[in-house]
Amino acid sequence: MMAKRYFYLLVEEGFRELSSRLRIGDAILAPNLEVWIGQQWWFAENFDRLHPGVVLFKGSNSIQKVNMRRAKLAGHLVASIEEEAFGLAVFDGENLFDFQVGRFCDLFCVQGESLARFLRCMGIASETSISVTGNPRADLLRPPHDDKIRVEAARIRERHGEFVLVNTNYASINPYDIDVYNYYRRCIDAGVYDPENPEDLAKFDKLIEWEHQNLKLIIQFIRRWPEYSTRRLVIRPHPSEASGTWHHNLGGLDHVKIVDGTDHLSWIAASRALVHTSSTTGLEAYLLGVPSANLSPGKDPFSRHFLANLVNCTFEDVEVALKYAAAGAEQRDTAAPSGKQHAFQAMLLHHLLVDENETAARRVAQSLVRLSERISRETDRSGSSSFVAIKNTTRQANKAGMDVATFTNLVRAVYSHAKEAEFPLIESVAPMVYRLRTESGGR
């Protein structure tokens, strides 16, 4: 009998990563292949109590590198998929990858050839440790996997009517704890900035200045919107922001509604058009077929980094953006004229592999299964029935939050198209940690 293999899919931001991890898990599951999905903090404390397997991390920064090392010492193989890169076209200034991470990461699942080239050129990864898979988050924006988004979008439209969505993303100047210094310290802890490097400090200052310029543009847009359209504006603050700032400053405007803690993809799909300032949501809107206006403050050094700026119509002038968004809200046409659509698609494929014939989730799953063949049986152990319990912070619980009902419903959504697939057995192992196996997979 073939030995059972184990796959541990770690989640940090549930709203962003959980559905895609379930798609990967679905593509892995088989009688001898078992999948565990859940919060990264619990796994980090229990690597040495789990069967040796393949651990999929959500990134490759300095914090992730430390936990990769712990996983390796416990006999696991390590893979990563860089979720922070999903909306990026350029990686040279983002510091997403710890330069020593290749010592502990056996496989980098990358979204496109541009990221693969970056990892090779920087000496972070070798040709043999890279698999160009795409990102399963893109799968969820295409039929038939987008039906959950579309169903929820219909409910939103029924409840809130027609609207234009403004997605904000100002975590550096409006962080959730309302403390920019704490935000800077978190960036240092993740290896994004080196406090001893004057260039990094200057880079952070430029980021702050850029976000303030972005904020000025979006505020102008919001306040002047009634001059161009009678549609309501819905503002959705990023989960990493302090949403109270938006409620306090703009919540009293008659044409504005502010929504918190929402499924951003369904709200994008429900909207007549999206407005943002160099946000990944602009890329998601493009893939969902929603008109998108990107406000960008001139020839700044950051705009070239974002895929949204390649596939959305980008405006420096607020008035031009207002006219475009108002027209898009009335017509709900494609995000750009057809000629631009073809050009956008050609640019996108270099950065984000989107294949009509195979999902990114399946490519990731196949890469992880191949990697699992290298697991050493010499380090095998039975696994523990007694795990280390951890006390999550409120912030961790809000980020990875997945109660049993929510998790089960998401699993059902994955299997709604798989008529012949065996619905997996679901076991809650710890808060926000679940074990998936087939009926025939045994215990």
Residues 299 and 367 in one domain: no
pLDDT of residue 117: 95
Residues 166 and 95 in one domain: no
Q: Rounded CA gap, 182 and 219, in Å?
A: 25
pLDDT of residue 191: 72
Domain boundary at 351, 378, 393, which? 351
Our count of domains for the chain comes to: 2
- Using a 10 angstrom Cβ sphere, with 0-12 exposed, 13-18 middle and 19 or more buried, the burial of residue 87 is buried
Residues 324 and 362 in one domain: no
Residues 378 and 424 in one domain: yes
Residues 275 and 411 in one domain: no
* Residue 322 one-letter amino acid: L
β-strand 433-437 against 33-39: which pairing, if any? antiparallel
Q: The CATH number of the domain where 242 resides is what?
A: 3.40.50.2000
Residues 179 and 239 in one domain: yes
Q: Which of 355, 380, 403, 395 is nearest to 177 (CA)?
A: 395
Domain boundary at 351, 371, 386, which? 351
Domain with 68, as residue range(s), is: 5-138+355-441
Residues 113 and 256 in one domain: no
Residues 67 and 133 in one domain: yes
Residues 266 and 295 in one domain: yes
pLDDT of residue 282: 92
Residues 74 and 184 in one domain: no
Residues 317 and 384 in one domain: no
Work out the angle at residue 223's Cα, subtended by the Cα atoms of residues 222 and 229, and round it to the nearest 5 degrees: 70
Domain boundary at 324, 351, 378, which? 351
DSSP-assigned states of every residue in 371-434: HHTT--GGG-----SSPPP----HHHHHHH---HHHHHHHHHHHHTS-TTSPPPEEEEEETTEE
Helix (H, G, I), strand (E, B) or coil at 78: strand
pLDDT of residue 349: 83
* Residue 397 one-letter amino acid: A
The pLDDT tens digits along the chain (443 residues) read 468 999 999 999 888 899 999 999 999 999 999 999 999 999 999 999 999 999 999 999 989 999 999 999 999 999 999 999 999 988 865 578 999 999 999 999 999 999 999 999 999 999 999 999 999 999 999 888 888 899 999 999 999 999 999 999 888 888 888 777 787 788 777 777 788 888 888 888 888 888 888 899 999 999 999 999 999 999 999 888 889 999 999 989 999 999 987 688 999 999 999 999 888 999 999 999 898 889 888 666 666 788 888 888 889 899 999 999 998 788 755 444 444 455 566 778 889 998 888 999 999 999 999 999 998 765 555 555 689 999 999 888 888 888 898 899 888 888 776 545 678 999 999 999 999 998 765 44
The pair of three-digit structure tokens given for residue 331, joined into one six-digit string: 């017509």
Residues 15 and 67 in one domain: yes
Strand order in the sheet with 232-236: 256-258, 232-236, 163-167, 273-276, 292-295, 313-315
Q: The CATH number of the domain where 381 resides is what?
A: 3.40.50
pLDDT of residue 92: 66
